[in-house]
Amino acid sequence: MLAQKQVGECFMAITVAVSNQKGGVGKTTTALHLAVATALTGRRVLLIDLDSQANATTALGVPEATVEAPGSYHALINGDGISPRWPQATAIPHLSVLASSLEMAGVELELSGETDRLHRLRPVIATMADSFDWIFLDCPPSLGILSVNALVAADTVLIPVPPEQFALDGMARLTSTIERLNDAGQTRIEKPMILITMAQNWAPAKMKRALEIRQTHGEAVLVAEIPHSNALDEASGDRTPVFLTRPNADASENYLRAAAELIMRHEPGQSLTPENVEAMVAEMRQQMKPLVSRNAPDAVLSDPPARHKRHRRHRSRSGDGPKIYRSRRRLQQAIGASLLIIISLFITVLVVDA
Ligand SMILES: Nc1ncnc2c1ncn2[C@@H]1O[C@H](COP(=O)(O)OP(=O)(O)O)[C@@H](O)[C@H]1O
Ligand SMILES: [Mg+2]
């Protein structure tokens, strides 16, 4: 594919650590969907799963790593023994995953005595860097050895933050850790990026927090904002990226936009304009079509025109958005069905009487 070739010839992999020491803020969901969306442009993408829960691994249909099929744990422990053949291909073209496994839960303890314990991931990335254009790191929910390894190895950090105070506290601690690592010459991260996740634009307190995040952090915050989405929650239950189960959901659209923005902020020669983002999202949606029809033949992948219209339509088609909309729709369906039954009974009585 053209984009892949051009990118591949121009520079080595750009590595993004998706990190926030708080759990449940959308790190894995974000790393997974940005990796899939980026791969949809034809760029060669590697997702390195650093979490012992291996949710990113299994969401891509790849089994947890084993000694026979080694993954991120083995790469961190083995050092020089790592091979560029370890990443496993997924059902998404151009996307591979370096699988995690439960053993990762003990890796911090295993590495604690090693002098190079904070620099174990860098050589792993160096081994892979020629084979990929983008590498996403799904970090665990802590600021321990694994997360610091990711920060040290990354070119940039993306912090998923729901508009809630606890997540903002977590973000403050992470940014001060990055500053300290930067001062010590350990990292090359200029400015962390922030992605607002689980936004609820019908809840005043959450809207206010989201606005505060934008006012405080300015351009570091991606324009795309991920809504709190039942579609995403369901997709994670199905262990499938939301693009394939609910391609028209707001969450799908915004993860595509976030990925396009990320690419335009970091690749040389790209410029971040709304038109360029639209064009790249259209390209991603084009590549999604065969995958969607294979995975969810009933899902119609629309080519939405105006943005505001699209958002309104998604709510009714995809079942995305707040539960209240969905329950109202279910209530309407139930009333319709009841009316139909009453009319049928009425007609039956009339016929029997006659
Ligand atoms: N935008 C969202 N809306 C609704 N649920 C979400 C959203 N993002 C993630 N989730 C769900 O929240 C849970 C935690 O998300 P996850 O990405 O695993 O967080 P983390 O990796 O930070 O622990 C998962 O069940 C996931 O499906
Ligand atoms: Mg996670």
* Distance in angstroms (rounded) separating the CA atoms of residues 224 and 97: 25
Quote the pTM value.
0.84
Tens digit of each residue's pLDDT, the chain (354 residues):
333 334 444 458 999 999 998 999 999 999 999 999 999 999 999 999 999 999 999 999 999 999 999 999 999 998 778 889 999 999 999 999 999 999 999 999 999 999 999 999 999 999 999 999 999 999 999 989 999 999 999 999 999 999 988 878 878 888 989 999 999 988 988 889 999 999 988 888 889 999 999 998 999 999 999 999 999 999 988 889 999 999 999 999 999 999 999 999 999 999 999 999 999 999 999 999 988 877 776 666 665 544 444 444 444 344 454 444 444 555 666 677 778 888 888 888 887 776
Other beta carbons within 10 angstroms of residue 18's beta carbon come to 29
CB atoms within 10 A of CB 32: 28
Residue pair 184/218 in contact by the 8 Å Cβ criterion:
no
What is the pLDDT at residue 109? 93
Ligand 1 atom closest to 227 (CA):
1
The residues pairing with 37 across neighbouring beta strands, listed in sequence order, are: none
Answer CATH for 2-321 from 3.40.50.300, 3.30.460.10, 3.30.365.10, 3.20.20.480: 3.40.50.300
Mutation pick for ligand 1 pocket among 22, 233, 318, 323 (CB with most ligand atoms within 8 Å): 233
How do the domains of the chain map onto residue ranges?
2-321, 323-354
What's the gap in Å between 26 CA and the centre of ligand 1? Answer: 4
Find all residues with CB under 8 Å of 331, minimum gap 6, and list them: none
* CA-25 nearest atom, ligand 1: 22
For ligand 1, the distance from its centroid to the CA atom of residue 68, given in whole angstroms, is 30
CA dihedral over 118, 121, 123, 125, signed as positive or negative: negative
DSSP string, 146-184: HHHHHHHH-SEEEEEE-SSHHHHHHHHHHHHHHHHHHHT
**CA–CA gap between residue 248 and residue 316 (Å, rounded):** 10
Atom number, ligand 1, closest to the C-alpha of residue 233:
27
Atom of ligand 1 lying closest to residue 197 CA: 1
As a whole number of angstroms, the distance between CA 304 and CA 296 comes to: 19
Give the distance (Å) from ligand 1 centre to CA of residue 145. 23
Angle, CA 348 vertex, CA 347 and CA 349 arms, to 5°: 90
Query: How far away, in angstroms, is 51 Cα from ligand 2 center?
Result: 6
Separation of alpha carbons 224 and 261, rounded Å: 8
Q: Using an 8 Å Cβ cutoff, are 214 and 239 in contact?
A: no
Secondary structure percentages of the chain, helix, strand, coil, to 5: 55, 10, 35
For ligand 1, atom 5, the nearest C-alpha belongs to 233
| CA within 13 Å, CB half, 57 | 26
Measured by CA distance, the residue closest to atom 8 of ligand 1 is 26
Model confidence over 41-71: pLDDT tens digits?
999 999 999 999 999 999 999 999 999 999 9
Sequence-separated (6 or more) residues with CB below 8 Å from residue 245: 231, 234, 235, 238, 295, 296, 299
pLDDT at residue number 330: 57
| Token pair of 230 as six digits | 């039942």
The helix (run of H) or strand (run of E) holding residue 257 is helix 250-266
**Ligand 1: which of 158, 194, 232 to mutate, most ligand atoms within 8 Å of CB?**
232
Which residues lie below 8 Å from residue 92, measured CB to CB, with a gap of 6+? 36, 39, 40, 60, 241, 291
Spatial distance between the Cα atoms of 285 and 267, rounded to a whole number of angstroms: 21
Is the shortest distance between the CB of 23 and ligand 1 below 6 Å?
A: yes
CA–CA gap between residue 90 and residue 291 (Å, rounded): 12
- Ligand with an atom nearest the CA of residue 100: 2
- pLDDT of 295: 75
Half-sphere exposure (Cβ direction) of 287: Cα atoms closer than 13 Å:
19
Instruction: Decide if 62 contacts 35 (C-beta within 8 A).
Output: no
- Among 104, 138, 236, name the best residue to mutate to test ligand 1's pocket (greatest count of ligand atoms within 8 A of Cβ): 236
CA 346 to centroid of ligand 2, rounded, Å? 56
